Amino acid sequence: MNNRKILGYGYYIPKNMITNHDLEKIVDTSDEWIKSRSGIETRYISSDENTSDISYNAAIKAIDDAGIKNEDIDLIICATCTPDNLTPSTACLIQEKLGLNDKHVMAFDISAACSGFLYAMQVASMMLMEYKCALIIGAETLSKVIDWSDRNTCVLFGDGAGAVIMKRENINKNMFFYANSEGDNEGKLRIKGPSLKEPLKNELREIGHIEMAGNDVFRFAVRAMSEALIKVLEKADKTIDDIDLFIPHQANYRIIKHVIRKLKIDESKLYINLNNYGNTSAASVAIALAEAKEKGLIKEGAKIVLIGFGAGFTYASGYIEI
């Protein structure tokens, strides 16, 4: 796919930082235990901003970075598994916050967990055959579904949002994507939805917490990320040495280390920020991409590979020429 360009990048992190030492006070864990098993030191939690709010803040930064107006956007895709509501979509709420209700805009959500942002980028790249300018967001308020008594999961996740503006332009820039999925009917990584209830009876139904079989997810992640990376390089007709920067899903540093050792990737070509933000699911790759751009690590002409995996199970990758 060519004639697609990322014009702007933005991210937003809630203000409430939670350290490993804070978590030591509520569950049987320690700073050393968390860092040695995940690489995470801090994460941020939203107390008064829902997913659409943090998405809006990331979107505004991306729009400003792109040098466009809100009115230039005619496609909004939000990747999230923690929406404000079951319906309406978070993307439609973002449309309203951007003042675009009287414009011709297609807005919808994608639920592919931690792969969601990459799924959304692939969908947007295809839809830009008809539309002109896409706002693509990965955003989560995972704190809504964290079980703070479960030390195996509560130490891993955080909130945040990242966004990009992708536009159809008359340029020779290539993008390639790869995506795959495998149904996880055993619930190795899930958040249960409301259960069924008896007809004609009102009963309280709550959304579940994050549940994860850590060892199973670890093995899947290493295999899936390796496959996704190799497949997208094959599509792009590139080698690992051709790539300037690799941005993996920021879930667990041990997973990333296994992948780069397996594929012989130079660690200096990795962008890692999971120590600061933890696993922000669909926002993870989006935040890392925008932050890397902000730090001057993404320059004109760069070749970047994005890789993700998540509940579903889903996994995906993207090759992007800047």
The answer to whether 81 is a known catalytic residue is no
Report how far apart, in Å, the C-alpha atoms of 192 and of each of 52, 146, 182, 208, 309 are.
21, 12, 18, 5, 19
Beta bridge partners of 319: 176, 305
Q: Which of 78, 81, 114, 133 is catalytic?
A: 114
The two structure tokens encoding residue 259: 């992948």
The answer to whether 70 is a known catalytic residue is no
Q: Which of 20, 252, 276, 279 is catalytic?
A: 279
Is 130 in contact with 75 (CB distance < 8 Å)?
no
Cα 33 versus chain centre, distance: 25
The residue among 140, 106, 111, 112 whose CA lies nearest residue 126 is 106
For residue 162, what are the contacts with CB-CB under 8 A and spacing of at least 6? 9, 10, 11, 12, 58, 117, 137, 138, 139, 283, 284, 285, 286, 287, 288, 289, 290
The answer to whether 209 is a known catalytic residue is no
Tell me how far apart the terminal alpha carbons of the chain are, to the nearest angstrom.
Answer: 13
For residue 135, what are the contacts with CB-CB under 8 A and spacing of at least 6? 59, 62, 63, 73, 75, 76, 77, 94, 163, 164, 165
Q: Which of 57, 92, 249, 252 is catalytic?
A: 249
Residues classed as catalytic: 114, 249, 279
